[in-house]
Amino acid sequence: MTDVSPSTSGDGQRPAAERQLRSHQWYGTEGLRSFSHRARTRQLGYLPEEHLGKPVIAILNTWSDINPCHVHLRDRAQAVKRGVWQAGGFPLEFPVSTLSETFQKPTPMLYRNMLAMETEELLRSYPVDGAVLMGGCDKSTPALLMGAASVDLPTVFVPAGPMLPGHWRNEILGSGTDMWKYWDDKRAGLIGDCEMTELESGLARSPGHCMTMGTASTLTAAAEALGVTVPGASSIPAVDSGHDRMAAASGLRIVELVRKDRKLSDILTQEAFEDAVTTVLGLGGSTNAVIHLIAMAGRAGARLTLDDFDRIARTVPVLANVRPGGRTYLMEDFHFAGGLPGFLSRITDLLHLDRPTVSHDSLREQLATAQVHNDEVIRTRENPVAAEGGVAVLRGNLCPDGAVIKHISAEPHLLKHTGPAVVFDDYRAMQRTINDPELGITADTVLVLRNSGPKGGPGMPEYGMLPIPDHLLKQGVRDMVRISDARMSGTSYGACVLHVAPESYIGGPLALVRTGDTITLDVEARSLQLNVDDAELERRRERWTAPPERYERGYGALYNDQITQADTGCDFAFLARPGKVPDPYAG
């Protein structure tokens, strides 16, 4: 049977028919298996003219009834299909795991690598020539791109988009950020149950991910900076008609990428990842991006380290005046101020402009017409939100493999601080006892939570924004130094030291801290130091015993066996290592 793929549109590339589409080995040969594949496609109701010789596009959709970030993606998949059909391709929608930061316990981070595996194996095992990935809620973006990078087909990412701004009385609310704020106000006695009931109905008003520069907005912006979305895609509000048009444009584009044979590896270069780091830091983005970008880079054959983040942070100013780092505007404001193209147009001297994207032969070409329409939302270089990138990497005897802090979201007086530790071994125990006056917690105390890292959490839950005791909230205290091997929500804020590596659960130095020890945080010096001499620490280490394993069977046991530490991206070791995986034999 002859492959009758349409030719390309004057771009100088070989026609798809001459290259022979990947799906050809399923559909286009004379053997029994191809006959069976064609017969089963007829069983699905498709005519030969609808798919034979055409680029087959997998649409991986993370839609779910219980994922408010993605609840609209079932409709958006239809727009993607519309674009694929229009461009002469054949779309096939695949439902994949949904990772809901809102509901999934103990944390969707536990399942990021599961979705990455599912993505990789679906794309590898089915007759597809290219992929459109649909996601946006925190872990779905890196998971989908990690899996796709391991297969290396032409790929376009469709971000879920931010929800509409929240409203309560005369205030505009940011999901997450204002939740933490008003919850503290309630604990301080400033508002009551009636106000909280009103806030429940006003905080999140539409489909879409958080409309602050939390983890979701940070990572979809990183995806756009990497070059795997159509221009401007990451900030379009989820319910805007422009989001539907973007989805259709993505469907059009993926067919052209297949015809050009522009694979994901052509886009996800070392330079692209460095530009994504620059973007995240200049946006004042989430600390979670550090873990995810390191993992994504590893899958793409690039290399990022914590030191790269710290080096780049010293060169890029924060220009996005978006909550929580900017503490003023939300993602809809950012979008209409120029979105990511406008933002990137102000830091072009810090970017690699000659690398390709899915839409253009170079980032330079993609940004040629980008503009900023509101200098308060996207600041000028002369008037930044902060002079340096929003995340600092710390080192010291408490975190020999590193830790991070989003210092632009902390109260400045805490960025150089020494105080006595109060240590919690368990998050639930901390919740029960944080208000116990016997603990003697003051505003100078350093709160320490351990056993909340990749293995100890398990999955590194967002426990890192430890609650401030009620009695201090009532005194007006709104920030304290807090240290953990956990993560925190990208929508949160405060002097929270996170991702301490190695984690306490495997015997990292955090396991050796005792209540009463003093700890010194010095962000300018990039230092986190436990003020206990080495001999005493060695004595404590000799007495330390490892806790029991969290899981005895199932996915949790696989996770526990294979998960790497925060500084290397929390990927599975067997997935992160280099090596080839052959395409399946389809004949």
User: Which tens digit of pLDDT belongs to each residue from 260-307?
Assistant: 999 999 999 999 999 999 999 999 999 999 999 999 999 999 999 999
Q: What pLDDT does residue 18 have? A: 52
* Residue 192 burial (CB count, 10 A): 10
Q: Are 379 and 347 spatial neighbours (Cβ–Cβ below 8 Å)?
A: no
Ranges assigned E (strand) in 105-194: 130-135, 155-159, 166-168, 171-173
Q: Residue 34 contacts by C-beta under 8 Å, 6 or more apart in sequence?
A: 1, 26, 27, 28, 587
pLDDT confidence of residue 327: 76
pLDDT (0 to 100) of residue 9: 40
Nearest CA-CA partner of 73 in 54, 84, 60:
60
Mark 475-496 as b/e (b = at least 16 C-beta within 10 Å): eebbbbbbbbbbbbbbbbbbbb
Q: Which token pair is 116? A: 């990455």
Instruction: Look at residue 328 in the predicted model and tell me its pLDDT.
Output: 85
Measuring CA to CA, how many Å separate 474 from each of 73, 152, 196? 43, 54, 18
Please tell me the predicted confidence (pLDDT) of residue 1: 33
Residue 359 sits at φ, ψ, to 5 deg, of: -105, -20
Question: 209: helix, coil or strand?
Answer: strand
| CA distance linking residue 372 with residue 374, whole number of Å | 6
d(CA 293, CA 516): 36
Distance CA(553)–CA(570), nearest Å, equals 20
**Which parts of the chain have pLDDT scores under 50?**
1-17
Give the strand pairing for 518-522 and 416-424. Answer: antiparallel
Q: How far is CA 316 from each of CA 67, 224, 235, 274, 391, rounded to the nearest angstrom?
A: 34, 18, 21, 12, 11
